[in-house]
Chains A and B, each alone.
Chain A
Amino acid sequence: MSATGIGASVKRTEDIRFITGKGHYTDDINRHGQAYAYFLRSPHAHATINKIDASAALKAPGVVAIFTGDDIAADKVGGLICGWMIHSKDGSPMKAGAHPALAQGKVRYVGDHVAVVIADTYAQAREAGEKIVVDYGVLPAATDTATTAKPGAPQVHDVAPNNTVYNWHIGDKAATDAAFAAAAHVTKLDLINNRLIPNAMEPRAAVGEYDSGTDALTLYTTSQNPHVARLVLSAFIGIAPEHKLRVIAPDVGGGFGSKIFIYAEETVCVWAAKKIDRPVKWTADRTEAFLSDAHGRDHVTHAELALDVGGKITGLRVHTIANLGAYLSTFSSSVPTYLYGLLLSGQYNIPAIYCEVDAVYTNTAPVDAYRGAGRPEATFVVERIVEIAARQLGRDPGEFRRANFVTSFPHQTPVILAYDAGNYGGALDKALALADYKGIGARKAASAAKGKLRGIGFSAYIEACGLAPSAAVGSLGAGVGLWESAEVRVNPIGTVEVLTGSHSHGQGHETTFAQLVSQRLGIPFENVSIVHGDTDKVQMGMGTYGSRSGAVGMSAVSKALDKIEAKAKKVAGHVLEASEQDIEFKDGKFTVKGTDKAIDFASVALQAYIAHKFNGQELEPGLKETAFWDPTNFTFPAGVHICELEIDPETGVTTIDRWTAVDDFGALINPMIVEGQVHGGVAQGIGQAMLEGAVYNGDGQLLTASFMDYCMPRADDLPSFRVETIETRCPSNPLGIKGCGEAGAIAAPPAVINAITDAVGHEDVAMPATAQVIWRAAQKAILKRAAE
């Protein structure tokens, strides 16, 4: 391994600019003559718009234009789309209500977009916005996930009776029913997967610009996938044909899924820029981020696990109500279905699974993919119910899991996925040793002696990453393929630019992708630069989400590098006057087999461009290759996390004492970056388990609309993590990579709740398990013990 090649913990190149304040974010972009947009948002969760009177606002200082939904519709610009078609069990397509960029006739959640005011300054736009008089007919709101589909609930969209988007199912119902009929033991569980608000550090922002000279538009936007944004804005919303629309996602300060989607604001900014022939800029404030970024999770679930006399799992039955909010966001329909139901086998050999999901509308912000997206929800179901089953059967939770682990590969689950490689027992062994599981009894006794309760919780998670084989997702309803692209441009002096369709918004692509190139071409790491985030520079690509950049994005780079190597060998053959077959490439040098004739990579690059040593008709000059990589399977990162914590039963205050993570991410490009990804993911998972939760009241007002009420995890809420890995290479991509970006957020919540319930001795602990929740649970346990 070289100091900068694959497997080296190279410090992140991009951090120099981020740490010294030289990052260049969308809000840093200012275009000549730019005007500012202010979005007038609905204060009501559900109301008809009877009239919008903007006459006073139009006269306010600095106002350039005010647009409403009618203006957009008059321009024949379409609404926002959901790009994944789900069919209900009865075969009917999902019932998607219209999603205009600016409301037409009705608002459906607090924060919904009523009008846009464009003015010379942001302050003027906002001030004018307050002068718009909207006559609302306020309607009762449907806000509760569990009851929104019940008869009599307020209706969010006329096209979706009973607020039901779809009733989806997966698995074999008859086989599952049979497993339960024959079961020796059945474990049941009701749970809520709490709604989360993503809160990327950088709020969303957009600058739309129109060039009347070329009739072309440019959109600078906080996107995880600028090409997908361009495709949607062009082909579906109808802003402009793709060759007349450039989308640039410069430095992006975190996304966690929330910047995958194509939102109203960027659509309106780019559309309005042409309307007024001036650049239009918008940057969300934090309140707008809380109200209008797509939220995550929000499930109500009942699950049942069937077991035989020996404690082998024989069946799993799950019913989930998934709240998708007021409109279907870009990929929302796929999250509680194919990213959820398919993961319900966990790391276990479960012969029969049947899962039903009712996706519902409510008068709340749209819900879509958020770090983990469906997989944390599935893992929470599986790892909670498996834990409870082990406890009910009096089995050690680690050994009970081990007895049910999948041990031979490939393994076909009953819910589509075929696991290709893994070593679940190996991860468990290592985690048990690192966590000193043998010593837990003594540590519990020591805590008890201090009047404290200590608990330990396991989470043996699996996720499907490397999204995804295009034909497979197409057959499941995806509107796009999920391949990735790369172009490798070798310059005449041998430096390299890689243009990737992946997008970095914190992940460190500029470092890890360069490590791959440095290793493969044997050139200095500093000689490689990574270009991403601009549709005019980079060929069509699918972007970054679902832990796909390594497994899919780097595989595309690897494939392009194969082509570069093949072409360079041809050039080297001519230069060294040897047959191409006799050329060997190693450590940056081309040699002729069995001779000492050699030429380095940079010299070959130069020869490829000056093209003096070969016939330009037989061999094209230049050294630049493009590749599209379409994966053949998902990848299956998996691992075991163990949480150990101590509770003060007098207050419920809980301190996580140890966190042990043993993850199998396949091959690691940069172990330091991987560890950072696990830290961030676990922090978010602990946040979900103990601190975070979006709360709407019955009127549909978001009560947690600021950091004063919505609790993001902070450093002092978290323990020092023990993060280790094991490695089984992924067989379906050339680099053996599985992906690591979401694992922590997927693994952590059940580990925490299993530890808390272990400590308090019963299962009734909801997320977020705040001190009050834990105190109540501890009190109940103490009363129960006293009564026994």
Chain B
Amino acid sequence: MYAFTYHQPNDVAAAVALLDEDAKLLAGGQTLLPTMKQRLASPASIVDLGKIGELSGISREGETIVIGAMTRHADVAANAAVHQAIPALAALAGGIGDPHVRNRGTIGGSLANNDPAADYPAAVLALGATIVTNKRELAAEAFFHGLFETALGEGEIIVKVRFPIPQKAAYQKFRNPASRFALVGVFVTQTKGGARVAVTGAGASGVFRVNALEAALGASFAAAALKDATVPAEGLNTDMHADAAYRAHLIVVLARRAVAAAG
């Protein structure tokens, strides 16, 4: 790790004031610190969000669940309101990494990082969540921009995420056996507006929705509706762990299983 200056501001405004192009926000550090240790990142200063109380916490506001950016995966997994309103989201958070990672990693860090194999992006996209920053509100579709890229601009900090409560939802994760990230993860939801299917781990340019599966489920939200469905392999990842054809196949299998699990 290279030397850097460490800041620990007490509110968002102070954090923003510390941000320049050589500064990095530090949330749970589960991605940033390993990258720095491997000397792949060398920020001149680190702005630790850990002391900013307003960034943490979970609440239910009418028909939405609101999760602060600094909320740890373990807290989402254990939260009663999340369990009651969107159990699939609690289960997803409880399936991220290992206990160490869940006790440090945050939803804001995960979304800002937008790892193409991360779990939260699938939930955010399938649930039609809104990402609230210090500057604006972004719909999920507008937030994710391909591999490790997001709409976040200079001096922009994720403050919280608002999840509309769906009628039904479920997440199925097929783990990469080594990293235990998603080799393929499929999040399905049913809302008044219809069905959504969001896929992580498989897309060559990150998380995406599968229109054909959504259409089939819109007509009938049942596993049987996907009985003969297929997803093309084009645009999917091929790497040493799995090729595009296998991933395409898994998307359909996991979507079917998710719908069945959503009840």
- Report whether B177 and A772 are in contact in the complex, using a CB–CB cutoff of 8 Å: no
- Report whether B177 and A709 are in contact in the complex, using a CB–CB cutoff of 8 Å: no
B87-95, B155-163, B237-245: which lies at the A interface? B237-245
Interface residues in B242-257 (C-beta closer than 8 Å to A): 242-243, 246, 249-250, 253
Q: Which 4 A-B pairs have the closest CB atoms?
A: A711-B178, A708-B179, A711-B177, A772-B246
CB 8 Å contact bits of B220-263 with A (1 = contact, 0 = none): 00000000000000000000111100100110010000000000
CB 8 Å contact bits of B178-211 with A (1 = contact, 0 = none): 1101000000000000000000000000000000
Q: How large is the interface on A (under 10, 10 to 19, 20 to 34, 35 or more residues)?
A: 20 to 34
Q: Which residue of A lies closest to B246 (CB)?
A: A772
Please give, as numbers and ranges, the residues of chain A lying within 8 Å of B240 by CB-CB distance: 695, 703-704, 709
Q: What are 28 A-B interface contacts by the 8 Å CB criterion?
A: A123-B1, A127-B2, A287-B38, A650-B253, A651-B174, A651-B250, A651-B253, A691-B177, A691-B178, A695-B240, A704-B240, A707-B178, A708-B179, A708-B181, A709-B240, A711-B178, A712-B178, A717-B177, A770-B241, A771-B174, A771-B177, A772-B241, A772-B242, A772-B243, A772-B246, A775-B246, A775-B249, A776-B246
> A710 contacts the other chain (Cβ, under 8 Å)?
yes
A650 to B38, CA, bound (A): 38
Interface residues in A673-732 (C-beta closer than 8 Å to B): 691, 695, 703-704, 707-712, 717
- Min C-beta distance of B35 to chain A, whole Å: 12
- Min C-beta distance of B178 to chain A, whole Å: 4
- Report whether A708 and B246 are in contact in the complex, using a CB–CB cutoff of 8 Å: no
A695 to B178, CA, bound (A): 14
Known A651-B174, A709-B179, A717-B177; further 14 A-B contacts with Cβ < 8 A: A123-B1, A127-B2, A287-B38, A651-B250, A691-B177, A704-B240, A708-B178, A710-B178, A711-B177, A770-B241, A771-B174, A772-B243, A772-B246, A775-B246
Q: Which residue of A lies closest to B98 (CB)?
A: A714
- Report whether A770 and B253 are in contact in the complex, using a CB–CB cutoff of 8 Å: no
A126 to B50, CA, bound (A): 30
Please give, as numbers and ranges, the residues of chain A lying within 8 Å of B250 by CB-CB distance: 651
Please give, as numbers and ranges, the residues of chain A lying within 8 Å of B179 by CB-CB distance: 707-709
A703 to B178, CA, bound (A): 13
Please give, as numbers and ranges, the residues of chain B lying within 8 Å of A710 by CB-CB distance: 178
Please give, as numbers and ranges, the residues of chain A lying within 8 Å of B242 by CB-CB distance: 770, 772
- Report whether B174 and A709 are in contact in the complex, using a CB–CB cutoff of 8 Å: no
Q: Which residue of B lies closest to A708 (CB)?
A: B179
Interface residues in A271-309 (C-beta closer than 8 Å to B): 287
Interface residues of B (CB under 8 A from A): 1-2, 38-39, 174, 177-179, 181, 240-243, 246, 249-250, 253
A708 to B2, CA, bound (A): 23
Q: Which residue of B lies closest to A768 (CB)?
A: B177
Please give, as numbers and ranges, the residues of chain A lying within 8 Å of B1 by CB-CB distance: 123
Q: Which residue of B lies closest to A773 (CB)?
A: B246
Please give, as numbers and ranges, the residues of chain A lying within 8 Å of B253 by CB-CB distance: 650-651
A770 to B250, CA, bound (A): 14
A127 to B242, CA, bound (A): 37
Interface residues in A327-367 (C-beta closer than 8 Å to B): none
A707 to B240, CA, bound (A): 14
Please give, as numbers and ranges, the residues of chain A lying within 8 Å of B39 by CB-CB distance: 130
Please give, as numbers and ranges, the residues of chain B lying within 8 Å of A711 by CB-CB distance: 177-178
Please give, as numbers and ranges, the residues of chain A lying within 8 Å of B249 by CB-CB distance: 775
Please give, as numbers and ranges, the residues of chain A lying within 8 Å of B243 by CB-CB distance: 772
A772 to B242, CA, bound (A): 7
A711 to B179, CA, bound (A): 8
Please give, as numbers and ranges, the residues of chain B lying within 8 Å of A709 by CB-CB distance: 178-179, 240-241
- Report whether A770 and B174 are in contact in the complex, using a CB–CB cutoff of 8 Å: no
Please give, as numbers and ranges, the residues of chain A lying within 8 Å of B241 by CB-CB distance: 709, 770, 772
A776 to B242, CA, bound (A): 11
A651 to B242, CA, bound (A): 12
Which of B38, B178, B240 counts the most chain A CB atoms within 10 A? B178
A251 to B226, CA, bound (A): 57
CB 8 Å contact bits of A119-151 with B (1 = contact, 0 = none): 000010001001000000000000000000000
Interface residues in A642-672 (C-beta closer than 8 Å to B): 650-651
A710 to B177, CA, bound (A): 9
Please give, as numbers and ranges, the residues of chain B lying within 8 Å of A775 by CB-CB distance: 246, 249
A707 to B243, CA, bound (A): 20
Please give, as numbers and ranges, the residues of chain B lying within 8 Å of A771 by CB-CB distance: 174, 177
- Min C-beta distance of B100 to chain A, whole Å: 13
Please give, as numbers and ranges, the residues of chain A lying within 8 Å of B181 by CB-CB distance: 708
A608 to B253, CA, bound (A): 78
Please give, as numbers and ranges, the residues of chain A lying within 8 Å of B174 by CB-CB distance: 651, 771
Q: Which residue of A lies closest to B253 (CB)?
A: A650
Please give, as numbers and ranges, the residues of chain B lying within 8 Å of A770 by CB-CB distance: 177, 241-242
A287 to B37, CA, bound (A): 12
- Min C-beta distance of A125 to chain B, whole Å: 13
Q: Which residue of B lies closest to A126 (CB)?
A: B39
Please give, as numbers and ranges, the residues of chain B lying within 8 Å of A287 by CB-CB distance: 38
A707 to B1, CA, bound (A): 20
A766 to B178, CA, bound (A): 18
Please give, as numbers and ranges, the residues of chain B lying within 8 Å of A650 by CB-CB distance: 253
A161 to B178, CA, bound (A): 38
A770 to B241, CA, bound (A): 8
Q: Which residue of B lies closest to A776 (CB)?
A: B246
A695 to B240, CA, bound (A): 8
A776 to B245, CA, bound (A): 10
Please give, as numbers and ranges, the residues of chain A lying within 8 Å of B38 by CB-CB distance: 287
- Min C-beta distance of A441 to chain B, whole Å: 29
A575 to B250, CA, bound (A): 82
A776 to B253, CA, bound (A): 15
A130 to B174, CA, bound (A): 39
A695 to B239, CA, bound (A): 11
A776 to B249, CA, bound (A): 11
A775 to B242, CA, bound (A): 11
Q: Which residue of B lies closest to A695 (CB)?
A: B240
- Min C-beta distance of B208 to chain A, whole Å: 21
- Min C-beta distance of A313 to chain B, whole Å: 36
- Min C-beta distance of A451 to chain B, whole Å: 12
Q: Which residue of A lies closest to B38 (CB)?
A: A287
- Min C-beta distance of B186 to chain A, whole Å: 12
Interface residues in A767-781 (C-beta closer than 8 Å to B): 770-772, 775-776
A695 to B179, CA, bound (A): 16
- Min C-beta distance of B232 to chain A, whole Å: 18
CB 8 Å contact bits of A628-654 with B (1 = contact, 0 = none): 000000000000000000000011000
Please give, as numbers and ranges, the residues of chain B lying within 8 Å of A651 by CB-CB distance: 174, 250, 253
A703 to B174, CA, bound (A): 21
A246 to B246, CA, bound (A): 56
- Min C-beta distance of B18 to chain A, whole Å: 25
A711 to B177, CA, bound (A): 6
A717 to B39, CA, bound (A): 32
CB 8 Å contact bits of A537-563 with B (1 = contact, 0 = none): 000000000000000000000000000
Please give, as numbers and ranges, the residues of chain B lying within 8 Å of A127 by CB-CB distance: 2
Q: Which residue of A lies closest to B242 (CB)?
A: A772
CB 8 Å contact bits of A499-524 with B (1 = contact, 0 = none): 00000000000000000000000000
- Min C-beta distance of B42 to chain A, whole Å: 11
Please give, as numbers and ranges, the residues of chain A lying within 8 Å of B2 by CB-CB distance: 127
A709 to B242, CA, bound (A): 12
- Min C-beta distance of A43 to chain B, whole Å: 13
A192 to B130, CA, bound (A): 50
Please give, as numbers and ranges, the residues of chain B lying within 8 Å of A704 by CB-CB distance: 240
A709 to B177, CA, bound (A): 9
Q: Which residue of B lies closest to A693 (CB)?
A: B240
Please give, as numbers and ranges, the residues of chain B lying within 8 Å of A123 by CB-CB distance: 1
Q: Which residue of A lies closest to B181 (CB)?
A: A708
Q: Which residue of B lies closest to A652 (CB)?
A: B246
A289 to B82, CA, bound (A): 42
A709 to B181, CA, bound (A): 11
Please give, as numbers and ranges, the residues of chain B lying within 8 Å of A772 by CB-CB distance: 241-243, 246
A287 to B34, CA, bound (A): 12
- Min C-beta distance of B173 to chain A, whole Å: 12
Q: Which residue of B lies closest to A712 (CB)?
A: B178
A775 to B1, CA, bound (A): 42
